[in-house]
Amino acid sequence: MKSSEEFHSRRSPVYSTNGVVAASQPLAVAAGLEILSKGGNAADAAVAVAAALNVTEPGSTGLGGDCFALYYDGTCGDISALNGSGRAPARLTLELLRSAGFAEQLPPFHPYTVTVPGACAGWCDLVERHGSLSMVDILTPAIRLAEEGFPVAPITSYFWQRGVNEQLKTAPGGHHLTINGRAPCPGEIFRNPDLAHTLRIIAEGGMNAFYQGEIAAVIANAVQAAGGCMAVEDLAAHHSTWEEPINTTYHGIRIWECPPNGQGLTALLALNILEGFALPELEPLSAERLHLEIEAMRLAFADTRWYVSDPAFNHIPMDELLSKGYAAERRKLIDPARATLDQQRGSPVVSSDTVYLSVVDGQGNACSFINSNYMGFGTGIVPDGCGFSLQNRGHNFSLDPTHPNALAPGKRPYHTIIPALATRLPDGNTTRKRKEELYASFGVMGSFMQPQGHVQVVIALNDDELDPQAALDRPRFCITNGEAGGSVALEVGIPVGVMAALAEMGHPVMQVDQHWRHIFGRGQIITRRPENGVLCAGSDPRADGCAMTY
């Protein structure tokens, strides 16, 4: 690998052969390591970390939200994709919304944006298929944290207070996630006995105790009392799905993403386009290279903001979208000297605020896992006695009845949260005639930043040969709203002259620093060397977390 000194990495990457956990909270990392040290594998540890993150970072994730996972089996090289996202209530229709005065878009924190929380089923299903320990063992560290309390990390405290101001102050039950109406200060102990009680019920009774018992009744009552229409029947009908992951090749490696309704397709489309440019010959933070990356993302978003939807309701031309020929046609639309802000979706066929965590164990199994409320605390609604807030994923539905992502009862919305994996053959041959070795388990959380983060991380790791920590430290760009014509946020650290050059090319740019850097996402990366099993990990400096081994 090239030296990371050029990019002034703030800390060294973590090396190990036993197993590594990387997450946005050190106490959650410790929970995962505890499970690995007790003989658990990557799936067991991932769920333990997710549960602990629900305790330590409730403004990003939890049982009131959804999850997605990619799992790499170190024995055979198989990759499975878990879709743990929930569906719209049966009574929630476009007609109902129109009669309530919502014709174009729902308010972000309205109870109609609450879709069925899929995280609990996702946790249980991942452990049932790939895990080796009981849910009692796996959830014990999180239960202990919730009961005994934990000191709140500084960045978490800052965004917790934002959540108090934006949602929790006014949302029903929101005060349960505050200390006398405010967020906990950095270093202040926060206890959540209600969440400990909920986790204990799940540990002993599994997902049925969540979706068909007292928890489901309390969730439905909370949503209905707030003015929504979720019923206990909606929760009882929920189920996760195991999907065939989608992938594309990029300069000798294969990138894996979960299929729609997640937006992982966006990253694959952009990488296909960028593969046709000689990026390694351009300076990493030059205007020339950043322009190409931004333009590829604009084209990718133009496609996915139309095509990404629930495949149970709409046909998505996946093979055609991911073909190299389609990428070549889209690549022709990029002007190397000028920004194009009005890119439209293509026709690939003739007829036609979140937590990410990564775990790799000593046996070479990997779990790339993401769990989210959306928009911080989601709606901010906290069901009585549960200790978690309910998500607002339904805000991503289109209210245009002609759109593939149009709201419908029982439908999953466009989802921003996406985990990723990368594999490669020892000789770099991607024909898949034999087992592909794990190259990296990675992700970058943060709404529409996520596919942009995936692309920038892949380029840093593969084209520039940076170690995981240096790849995460590198300053980023972000098309702020995930739209093809959106403005571009540029992180401090990108040279001012480069920012000026991008503006000259026609990009509407803005410089971002301090706490606003959260819009560039918060990532975790673990790579594995096939020749000796050595793991190398990094954790994003934009969060409170770390990567650690045992």
Active site residues: 354
Tokens representing 219? 């969730």
C-alpha 118, offset from chain centre: 14
Query: What would the two tokens of residue 61 be?
Result: 């994730």
Tell me the pairing of strands 366-372 and 354-361. antiparallel
Answer yes or no: are the C-beta atoms of 445 and 521 closer than 8 Å: yes
- H/E stretch holding 196 reads helix 193-211
Distance CA 108, CA 392 (A): 7
Confirm if 97 and 140 have CB atoms less than 8 A apart.
no
Q: Is the dihedral of CA 493, 494, 500, 502 positive or negative?
A: negative
Q: Which two tokens stand for residue 495?
A: 């040279």
Q: Tally the C-alpha atoms within 13 A of residue 53's C-alpha that lie toward its C-beta.
A: 37
Q: Say if residues 450 and 263 touch (Cβ distance below 8 Å).
A: yes
Q: How far apart are CA 439 and CA 528, in angstroms?
A: 5
The three-state secondary structure class of 304 is: helix
In whole angstroms, how large is the CA radius of gyration of the chain?
Answer: 22
Write the Ramachandran bin of 506: left for phi over 0, alpha for psi from -120 to 50, otherwise beta.
left
- Which residue type occupies 235? L
SS3 content of the chain, % helix, strand, coil (to 5): 40, 20, 45
Distance from the Cα of residue 372 to its chain's centroid: 7
Q: What angle do CA 34, 127, 386 make, to 5 degrees?
A: 80
Beta carbons of 181 and 46 less than 8 angstroms apart: no
DSSP secondary structure letter of residue 403: S
Tell me the torsion sign for CA atoms 361, 144, 199, 85: negative
Report the DSSP beta bridge partners of residue 338: 335
Query: Using CA atoms, how far apart are residues 495 and 484, in angstroms rounded to an integer?
Result: 24
Cα gap 190→182, rounded to integer Å: 12
The pair of three-digit structure tokens given for residue 438, joined into one six-digit string: 């794990």
Query: Which SS3 state, helix, strand or coil, does residue 79 take?
Result: strand
How far is residue 127's CA from residue 138's CA, in Å, rounded to a whole number?
A: 9
Token digits of residue 288: 């020339």
Residue 130's H or E segment, with its range, is helix 119-130
Q: How far apart are the first and last CA of the chain?
A: 24
